[in-house]
Chains A and B, each alone.
Chain A
Amino acid sequence: MIAMGRVSMMDNAKLLEMYRQMLTIRFFEEKVFELYGQNLVPGTIHLYEGEEAVAVGVCANLRKDDYITSTHRGHGHCIAKGARLDKTMAEILGRKTGYCKGKGGSMHIADFSIGMLGATAVVGAGIPIAAGAGSSIKLRGTDQVVACFFGDGASNQGTFHEAINLAAVWSLPVVFVCENNLYAMGTRQSRVMLIENIADRAKAYGIAGVAVDGNDVLAVFEGAKEAVKRARKGEGPTLMECKTYRHRGHSRFDPAAYRPKQEVDAWLKKDPIAIFQTRLVDIGVLSEASIEELVHECRKAVDDATKFALESPFPEPEEALEDVYSPEESASVQ
């Protein structure tokens, strides 16, 4: 583990922006859970509460033209990459105004205009796609990078091996970010792998591997900074493991009874937002008053997005037939 937090090296505006993003994700997810309880969210949900430091710490190192790939637990990735709250919420509620016009839902949000290449709900499937975006960058000769988010469970998929090996041997500009929240659905990591640090697998591919405290946004930021720098300079991929914990169960109302109470309590004490907030107060970047102001601001942003989503229409049923192929192609083969 690298434990850092060289706060003084960063400017206050950046720190505040990261704090604001973490709060926004937290409030957004709380709202999604509330709406789910009111039967306003069709299907299922996988919330990011507790893991905010990972998406925010990584994406704080990315430019708008950099790419990310995401997972079924992807709301946080979207928001950290700069997605609009209103279109994200509308998509989760199945509305026509959502990012995917209601065809994707919570597990398939994408915003190609900000390099968010979409969330795949097949565990591990985004890893080769991220490598593909990396190979595209290399062929086009730009200095973009890709951050590929996936979980501990995905690291046991064949795609993890295939894609990271290929990215290593082609020296692709990809940061593979493993969000290790200890559980693949209900299966604890120790039951399905003998190693403690998934980052150790980097050795097998001959690339850099680093494990960081995924609840410390500055540790994530510093780890990702190195990895992104390496990628941007054409020095190849990194496997970065962020150790974190989800505050709620896997999905919907999963009570997560498979997790010991002591363990849950210990992790809740390491709430990434509380940790960061304390540090920012300590160094004088935040005050009680400014916290209150930011909390109000972020809640309002989430409320406004929710209002937009709830007032948005559902798609017309026949729209189910659109977007299978491009409109031009569909027209030419009628």
Chain B
Amino acid sequence: MKKITIRDALREALREEMQRDKTVFLLGEDIGRYWGGAFGVTKGLAEEFGDERVRDTPISESAIIGVGVGAAITGMRPVAEIMFGDLTALAMDQICNQAAKIRYMFGGQASVPLVIRTPFGAGVNIASHHSQSLEAWFMHTPGLYVAAPSTPYDAKGLLKAAVRGSSPVLFVEHKLLYPVDGMIPEENFVVPFGVADVKREGSDVSIVATLYMVHKALATAEQLGKEGISVEVVDPRTLAPLDRQAILKSVRKTGRLVVVSEDCKTAGVSSEIAAIVAEEALDYLDAPIKRVAEPDTPVPFSPTLEKFVVPDEKTIARAVKEIV
């Protein structure tokens, strides 16, 4: 085992897959030798694999994804980077109408093994155009998979699985998670899609949390444990496919559910998870489902405002105590 940050784990995944498979290549804005990606994930890869396989692009998000689609349906495995998650809006047609629908509307003739890496999330005071969490847009798009890792192990394993898969993947990275470290094995591994991970076992209440919120949920659970409340934390790891069985299993055990997700509350990640539990496990619930999410606002700039809208240990603990 070794200790590694999520940033380095992602880079290791890309490097290993590029070494393993010549059809894997990277494209995006400033991902090459002069910058290595806005968050440094691709640093050093252009030097190692050449500028053709680690390709700087014009500031043309629609073309970045479109080129990824065209390359993916003709034998390549592109990994595109969109510098900030909010900017996926510029490429929505290529992501949702083209990448996600090509296999289906052409009757299964083509696969689109395209990975789109992009950072979501607030917390670094870069305001409304660089901070939002938009996972739910993509969960709502059949044909697309959505990965949302919270640890170096999951980040590396899921990215490797994404590159090897045959469907387009929106690979969400949370920008506060890049420097977070954790242990991973030295040897090769992948993390399969659609398999949740119980990050902490507990018996009184289940918290289903995603991305950075997994860490906030774990910190909350630690604190509540001292107060005699046993919290289970379930990390879905991929939002599409979503491991419904793991979520239901946890809720059937604890009888209580709090869903914590950083995206806006309305029609969000937490809505879907709450709906699944309400539909499939209502009889097991001893209390109403609680959702902790951002209010329905864009992410504001000023630190006091931003801090107010993002869920934290306090809001999570309050939600837990309301139903325990």
Contacts and interface: CB of A to CB of B under 8 A. Distances in A.
Task: Tell me whether A and B are bound partners.
Answer: yes
B124 to A, nearest CB: 28
A139 B98 contact: no
Interface in B91-143: 93-94, 97-98, 102-111, 142-143
B166 to A, nearest CB: 5
Interface string A104-133: 100010111000011010100101111111
Interface string B55-95: 10110101101111111111110100000000000000110
Contact of B69 (A128, A134, A166): A128
Contact of A329 (B65, B74, B110, B167): B167
B146 to A, nearest CB: 12
A163 interface: yes
B128 to A, nearest CB: 22
Nearest to A109: B106
B62 A159 contact: yes
Contact of A100 (B105, B165, B166): B105
A267 B241 CA distance: 53
Contacts of B66: 125, 127-129, 131-132, 159, 162-163
Contacts of A102: 107
Contact of A166 (B57, B145, B194): B57
B252 interface: no
A118 B98 CA distance: 10
B212 interface: no
B194 A333 contact: yes
A131 B78 CA distance: 13
B74 A133 contact: yes
A316 to B, nearest CB: 14
B178 interface: no
Contacts of B280: none
B25 interface: yes
Contacts of A165: 58, 60, 63
A112 B107 contact: no
B63 A163 contact: yes
Interface centre among B55, B67, B111 (most CB of A within 10 A): B67
Interface string B175-200: 00000000000000000111000000
Given A128-B62, A132-B71, A322-B108, A118 B192 contact: no
A163 B63 CA distance: 5
B166 A140 contact: no
A332 B195 CA distance: 10
B52 interface: yes
B15 interface: no
Contact of B70 (A98, A117, A140, A324): A117
B73 A117 contact: yes
A326 B76 CA distance: 17
B265 interface: no
Interface string A65-105: 00101000000000000000000000000000011111110
Given A128-B94, A325-B143, A112 B108 contact: no
A108 B145 CA distance: 23
Contacts of A325: 103, 143, 145, 166-167
Interface residues of A, number: 49
Given A100-B106, A329-B167, A333-B194, A128 B63 contact: yes
A251 B114 CA distance: 33
A16 B263 CA distance: 62
B53 interface: yes
A137 interface: yes
A89 to B, nearest CB: 15
B105 A333 contact: no
A287 B72 CA distance: 47
Contacts of B106: 99-100, 103-104, 108, 110, 112, 118
Which of the listed residues A103, A170, A325 has the most CB atoms from chain B within 10 Å of its own CB? A325
A323 interface: yes
A158 B59 CA distance: 12
B108 A323 contact: yes
A162 B63 contact: yes
A113 to B, nearest CB: 8
A323 B75 contact: no
Nearest to A134: B70
Contacts of A163: 60, 62-63, 66-67
A128 B58 contact: no
Contacts of B93: 122, 125, 159
Interface string A157-176: 01100110110011000000
A277 interface: no
Contacts of A139: 23, 25, 52-53, 71, 76
Interface string A285-324: 0000000000000000000000000000000000000111
Contact of A132 (B74, B107, B110, B142): B74
A166 B74 contact: no
A159 B68 CA distance: 14
Given A103-B106, A120-B98, A140 B143 contact: no
Interface string A125-157: 101111111111111100000000000000000
Interface of A: 67, 69, 98-104, 108, 110-112, 117-118, 120, 122, 125, 127-140, 158-159, 162-163, 165-166, 169-170, 322-326, 328-329, 332-333
Interface of B: 23, 25, 52-53, 55, 57-58, 60, 62-63, 65-76, 78, 93-94, 97-98, 102-111, 142-143, 145, 165-167, 192-194, 241
28 contacts: A100-B106, A100-B107, A111-B109, A112-B106, A112-B110, A117-B74, A117-B110, A118-B73, A118-B110, A128-B67, A129-B66, A129-B70, A133-B74, A136-B75, A136-B76, A139-B23, A139-B25, A158-B62, A159-B63, A162-B58, A162-B62, A163-B63, A165-B63, A166-B58, A325-B103, A325-B143, A326-B167, A333-B194
State the 10 A-B residue pairs at the shortest beta-carbon distance, nearest first: A132-B70, A128-B66, A100-B107, A333-B194, A162-B63, A162-B60, A101-B107, A132-B67, A129-B70, A323-B108
